[in-house]
Amino acid sequence: MKTKTVFYCTNCGNETLQWMGKCPACGAWNTLTEHTESPAKPARRAVPAAERSQRRPKRLSQIVSGSEQRFFTGMGELDRVLGGGAVKGSLVLVGGAPGIGKSTLLLQICRELCKRQKVLYVSGEESESQLKMRAERLGVDAENLLIYAETEMDELLRAAGDMEPDILIVDSIQTMYAPENSTSPGGISQVKDCTMALLQLSKQTGTTVFVVGHVNKEGSIAGPKVLEHMVDCVLYFEGERNGPYRLLRAAKNRFGSTNEIGVFEMIDTGLREISNPSEVLLAGRPKGASGTCVACAMEGSRPVLAEVQALVTRSFLNVPRRTTDGFDYNRAALLVAVLEKRGGLRLSDCDLFLNVIGGLRIDEPGSDLPVAIAIASSFRDVPVADDLTAIGEIGLTGEIRVVSNLELRLAEVARLGFTRCVIPRHGTESIPAPKGLQLLRVRNLREAVEIALG
């Protein structure tokens, strides 16, 4: 049989039969890579044929709903992102940039998991002695933890069949290869074949499989982007490699919500859970400085307070610069236009730099008002009071609209010691003020800016 040449987009995983400069699916430029596919091979079998023959299709009425079995990993932040714990027989992909802490996270959860279950940790990047040294540094010492340094998929499946682990960790999928596939390890075909073999293993034996996949900031390395449709859960580990904080997000979760985040701090002994991220993100906030305001964003069911900083300076360029970090660029441009049209601020000839402190990314409408107040504060060089924060969505006519979960946000604001909060007037008349918190209800953006900077 002849081989077939296809082109994969490393940004979204789309497949085309001819090369194009722009991906027709996601619109990214120069992301299509050529790959030669060999004729299809018979699929590997993770369980014996005699055992497979006992499996039969079931009627929908015979299947018990909600029958998935969950177990705790020992890390509350990870369990939160997974939707209340890991599901038995699921395939979880943990992606992120190299060196961000993916291997550290998975090795740390072995400390708790091995108290009740057998864990097989397969590493294609480190030797057994290197894993031993890292486990000692992280304080992981368990008899039920089995270490196996191997890169061949057939050997991995054989070891899994012999040892019958409850949990299998593969670090990383780019280092694994199938002998019958002639392409090099890390290629799209190898990564997909190896992941499919692990998927069969997890579904047929009930083994929970965690797979590590490396991506860079553009997601251009073959891995998570071409595997998202195959796995049950996709987790992305984010953060500045040289910074202390890490965010764990769920991009896909068949057993729970994708809105939750987990917050960790990287220290000498591994990752430390941060159960109260608001206090950490607000630590070191400058006092009496202009261009800063506190926003309260909902990350799933958790309200998180973060500091938004803006710097507005006179521009000497024909086209003023607009730079954002942690906030949507197009949303920031919209707020600048509304501030100039409805708020009376002349920002068209000013450079604007916007940053969310702590590596957090805010992408919900409830942060519009604090961002606009921070921009106005920097433009006028008037600081916002340290005890004041703001919550609200801004419309194109300058009106302030109510946002979801306002009572939860206000409770978090009051708990962290803020005494005043600017909120929309319309739709909040029946919402009581938490103890010690004064609610400043406003109708439009101009009124909100005057109160915040008055």
What are the tens digits of pLDDT across the range 112-128? 999 989 999 999 999 99
Task: For the chain, give percent helix, strand, coil, nearest 5.
Answer: 30, 30, 45
Beta-strand ranges (E) seen in 239-342 are: 245-253, 261-267, 270-273, 292-299, 302-314, 322-325
Q: Which residue has the tokens 């730079």?
A: 323
How many other CB atoms sit within 10 Å of the CB of residue 408? 14
Q: Which residues of 348-365 are buried (b: 16+ CB within 10 A; e: fewer)?
A: eebbbbbbbbbbbbbebe
Q: Judge contact between 178 and 154, C-beta under 8 A.
A: yes
- What pLDDT digit, counting tens, does each position of 46-84 carry? 555 555 556 678 888 887 765 678 999 999 999 999 999
Choose between 41 and 269: higher pLDDT. 269
pLDDT of residue 283: 84
Q: pLDDT tens for residues 98-116? A: 888 999 999 999 999 999 8
pLDDT at 219: 47
Share of the chain above pLDDT 90, in %: 60
Under a CB-based contact definition with an 8 Å cutoff, are residues 270 and 106 in contact? no
| 409 vs 418: CA distance, rounded Å | 12
Exposure b/e, 57-84, CB count within 10 A at least 16 = b: eeeeeeeeeeeeebbbbbbebbbbbbbe
* pLDDT 10s digits, 178-192: 988 877 787 778 888
Cα-Cα-Cα-Cα dihedral of 354, 359, 365, 368, to 10°? Answer: -30
Enumerate the H helices of 126-165 as residue ranges.
Answer: 128-138, 153-163
For 108, the enclosing helix (H) or strand (E) is helix 102-113
Please indicate, yes or no, whether the overall pTM of this predicted structure exceeds 0.95.
no
pLDDT tens figures, 294-311: 999 998 788 999 999 999
- 431 CB-contact burial (10 Å; exposed 0-12 / middle 13-18 / buried 19+): middle
Residue holding tokens 């014996």? 48
Residue 152, classed as helix, strand or coil, is strand
Residues 130-162 pLDDT 10s: 999 999 999 898 889 999 999 999 999 999 999
Give me the count of residues in the chain. 454
